[in-house]
């Protein structure tokens, strides 16, 4: 059954959903299992009625489903419909039933994206970067997701890709920022934020380093080219 102590929190929902999304992208089965176990322990000790816990888990799983469908081609992932998810969780009498259900769905996602070779792990890391470069991603935070220490992964990454991790992330951010700068209705500081640079001056510095001109100059050049 459900036990009691404290109350469910939106912050915990966001944290568990974020952790599961990250570990799913990394295909790290051990950490996914550990996170689901931690989630079950947390919910066994909340001071909420069954309905509130079910609502918490329904919201978490629906958000997780949305995250995964955004990241992967949805045709490759076979999730139940939202109404089927809601109906199933509502019908459960025990917490472990719901956790097993979510665990089974998560396992299906990992099975459909299962990789085991070193090359495919690197491909997963590149895919993760390409889908998360707009966040504050660092080698130290990505490495544990894929089961590596940061020093070893850094060497592996540089050897395989031909540039270091930070440089690769910068390149991805700058390439995307160039596409955003084509849109005249978005300001430079907004472009900076959307590609993961919270400091617009730092964005200017990086852009000029890789492109040779400032973001504003690049936009003006695009306008001149279009008018010719």
Residue 117: Cβ-neighbour burial (10 angstroms; 0-12, 13-18, 19+)? exposed
The C-alpha angle 29, 31, 33, rounded to 5 degrees, equals 70
Q: Which one, of 166, 180, 179, 170, lies nearest residue 208 by Cα?
A: 170
Mean pLDDT over all residues of the chain? 87
pLDDT digits (tens, 9 = 90+) for 19-59: 999 988 888 888 899 999 999 999 988 888 889 999 999 99
pTM of the model: 0.64
Q: At what angle do helices 82-91 and 95-112 cross, to 10 degrees?
A: 150
Termini Cα distance of the chain: 71
How do the domains of the chain map onto residue ranges? 10-112, 116-228
State residue 194's pLDDT score: 94
In sequence order, which residues have a C-beta less than 8 Å from that of residue 201 and are 6 or more positions away?
none
Q: Is the pLDDT of residue 114 over 70?
A: no
pLDDT at 99: 94
The answer to whether 67 and 132 have CB atoms below 8 angstroms apart is: no
pLDDT band at 2 (very low <50, low <70, confident <90, very high): very low
CATH superfamily of 116-228: Homeodomain-like (1.10.10.60)
pLDDT of amino acid 55: 95
pLDDT tens for 130-185 read 888 998 899 998 888 888 888 988 998 998 899 999 999 999 999 999 999 998 88
């Amino acid at each position: 059954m459900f036990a009691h102590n404290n109350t469910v929190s939106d912050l915990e929902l966001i944290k568990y959903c974020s952790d599961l999304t990250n570990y799913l992208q990394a295909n790290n089965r051990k950490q996914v299992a550990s996170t689901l176990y931690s989630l079950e322990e947390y919910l066994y000790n909340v001071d909420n009625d069954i309905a509130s816990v079910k609502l918490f888990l329904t919201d978490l799983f629906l958000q997780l489903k949305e995250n995964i469908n955004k990241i992967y081609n949805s045709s490759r992932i076979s999730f139940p419909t939202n109404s089927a998810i809601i109906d199933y969780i509502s019908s459960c009498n025990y917490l472990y039933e719901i956790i097993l259900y979510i665990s089974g769905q998560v396992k299906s996602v990992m099975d459909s994206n299962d990789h085991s070779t070193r090359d495919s792990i690197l491909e997963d890391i590149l895919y993760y970067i390409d889908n998360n470069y707009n966040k504050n991603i660092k080698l130290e935070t990505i490495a544990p997701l894929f089961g590596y220490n940061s020093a070893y992964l850094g060497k592996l990454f540089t050897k395989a890709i031909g540039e270091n991790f930070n440089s690769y992330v910068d390149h991805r951010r700058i390439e995307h920022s160039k596409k955003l700068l084509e849109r005249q209705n978005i300001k430079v500081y907004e472009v900076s934020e959307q590609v993961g640079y919270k400091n617009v001056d730092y964005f200017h510095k990086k852009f000029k380093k890789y492109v040779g001109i400032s973001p504003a100059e690049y936009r003006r050049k695009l306008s001149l080219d279009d008018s010719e």
